[in-house]
Amino acid sequence: MKDMTGADAQLVSTGLSRRHLLNSGTALGAYFLLPRPAGAQQQGHDHSKMGLDPGPIIQAAAAAMDMPLAEPEVRRSVNGVLNTTLSCRYAYRDIGGQRLYLRSYEGTSHGPTLRMKPGETLKIRLSNDFPPNRDVLPKDMALPHQFNNTNLHFHGSHTSPSGISDNVMRSMVPGKKYDIEITLPKDHTRGTYWYHPHHHGGADVQMASGMTGAIVVEGDFADVPEIANAKERIMLLSQVVFDGFGMIENFATLFPETATRFLAINGQRRPTIQMRPGEVQRWRLVGSQYQDDFNIELEKHNLYAIAYDGIQLGAMQELKTLLVAPGQRADILVQAGAPGTYELRALPFDQGHPSPVGPLARVVVAGDPMPMKLPAALPKPPFENIKDSEITGRRTVTFSATNPEADAAGHWQEFTFLVDGKAFDPSRIDQRVKLGAVEEWTIRNTHFHDDHAFHIHTNPFQVTRVNGKPQADLQWRDTVIVPRNGGSVVFRSRFLDYTGVFMLHCHMMNHEEMGMMQTVEVYKE
Ligand SMILES: [Cu+2]
């Protein structure tokens, strides 16, 4: 082997030809053609002689890009109950030509899509099949910790936050199984929701690994044929991050604003979406990216929003670009134009630091024309506006943060992320709201550097002002961007039917994990 280059010697030792690697179309081929560290052969790394499998890193066979968009497996309710299991475990995941080894639901990139109706019950037996945690609880709960504990949050649902329902105070530890049972009220809004872990300490690492899944509460726009007849697509957005080993085992892998390697939909880098000229499709976009806003554009096409955060709009919004913050959902109609290939991409956006940019997918318009129409009007939205006369109280919640002097180069431990001047403490109740209250909240963001993404569980809210400016469309949301440097959002919310403790927090998960979260208790006198 003396006359071979190091790379060739490595190819021989793994039983693969250079041609094979060059044809594989993956970035991993290139990885193996890089010079190997001197002495690698002498250290017993000649796998063929040892009879060892060369390991996962050369096995990534999935094409890096341009594969048809795949959607997660669908699980449906039967006779009023969606009964299923979810295993939380490590799995290999091929994405963008990389083979990663990450925490997952069911061993797949994103969990299964759950489809149910208002009034039905979601029963999940969650099996925490992660290995044991190897770190003890920190004294400071604002330090990320114990990445193998988990639980499950039904994001955006209007359900009980207590017991074994949508209770994010539960700890589900490795090696055990847990029952979750969440019943939707009969009048629950119909639309696009999602689930993800919410265990303080490890939720960020788990979500950044792809532990998110869509939930469709079925039946919206049933009387609008232009929407009901449109082909539907679930599209979970993500920022793909990993360390030099293809893993996420350290908070530092997630934290810098420059951590994103590339963007993905449904765990695929730049997949293709087929449409016929004139065809209308309904895309359910889930903002399951762990940290940053996506400012989305489809080349030479407008986007038509019909619902945000699982709540129907009363009028379609025609958009050139669509901003999706972490946690938000947007249901949009897209009507394909002339035959051709169009890029769906994230454009530059200033959220205090630059949002990640890059391709998300390619829309390939081809075939026979399909004459379809956009709806002329949308039905009445599900909620009545909250009137001045309903308001029983007002309060202010302030998000703040400090950046180290070195700023972007600073280590994450030099930042602080606070609500009302304090980091999260699960043993403290921060906001107490009487059952039956209808309140107007002002969320302030005094952090000079970054916008934050306010999210509250259990009850959606209606946004009335942003930076003091009255909002014409009075959108209902469960997650809203609060602009930086003295910015504010005013919303109104009804706390009518569920008591118990739930959370408000920044849905930029790095911030939540470092303490930008509070408890809210709705109590009955
Ligand atoms: Cu934040």
Give me ligand 1 centre to Cα 403, in Å: 12
Q: What are phi and psi of 12, to 5 degrees?
A: -60, -40
User: Is 50 exceeded by the pLDDT of residue 175?
Assistant: yes
Q: Is 282 part of a structural domain of the chain?
A: yes
User: Is 60 exceeded by the pLDDT of residue 258?
Assistant: yes
- Find all residues with CB under 8 Å of 472, minimum gap 6, and list them: none
Nearest to 385 by CA among 251, 493, 223: 493
- Tell me the C-alpha to C-alpha distance, in Å, between residue 179 and each of 83, 268, 377, 470: 11, 31, 42, 44
Cα–Cα distance for residue pair 117/279, rounded to 1 Å: 27
State mean pLDDT over 63-85: 97
Quick one: pLDDT band at residue 409, thresholds 50, 70, 90? low
State mean pLDDT over 98-109: 95
Give me ligand 1 centre to Cα 509, in Å: 7
Number of DSSP helices (H) and strands (E) in the chain, helices first: 7, 32
* Residue 482 contacts residue 443 (beta carbons within 8 Å): yes
Q: What is the reported pLDDT for 8?
A: 37
Number of independent structural domains in the chain: 4
Together in a domain, 78 and 208: yes
Give me ligand 1 centre to Cα 481, in Å: 9
Together in a domain, 346 and 401: no
Give me ligand 1 centre to Cα 468, in Å: 20
Give me ligand 1 centre to Cα 15, in Å: 48
State mean pLDDT over 445-455: 96
Sign of CA dihedral 44, 46, 51, 57: positive
Together in a domain, 122 and 162: yes
Q: Is 383 part of a structural domain of the chain?
A: no
Give me ligand 1 centre to Cα 162, in Å: 26
Share of residues in the chain with pLDDT > 70 (%) = 88
Q: What is the reported pLDDT for 63?
A: 85
Cα–Cα distance for residue pair 449/434, rounded to 1 Å: 35
Encode pLDDT of 142-170 as tens digits: 899 999 999 999 999 999 999 999 999 99
Give me ligand 1 centre to Cα 386, in Å: 27
CATH of the domain at 301: 2.60.40.420
Q: Which residues are 429's β-sheet partners?
A: none
Together in a domain, 463 and 442: yes
User: Is 50 exceeded by the pLDDT of residue 18?
Assistant: no
Segments in 236-373 forming alpha helices (H) = none
Q: Which of 51-60, 239-248, 422-431 has the lowest mean pLDDT?
A: 51-60
Cα–Cα distance for residue pair 440/465, rounded to 1 Å: 11
Together in a domain, 78 and 112: yes
Quick one: pLDDT band at residue 20, thresholds 50, 70, 90? very low
Give me ligand 1 centre to Cα 350, in Å: 14
Q: What is the reported pLDDT for 109?
A: 84
Encode pLDDT of 28-62 as tens digits: 333 333 334 433 444 445 555 555 555 555 455 57
Give the structural domain span for 420: 388-523
Average pLDDT, rounded, for the chain: 90
Give me ligand 1 centre to Cα 216, in Å: 27
Give me ligand 1 centre to Cα 480, in Å: 11
**Which DSSP helix (H) or strand (E) runs through 523?**
strand 517-523
Cα–Cα distance for residue pair 107/87, rounded to 1 Å: 8
Together in a domain, 191 and 308: no
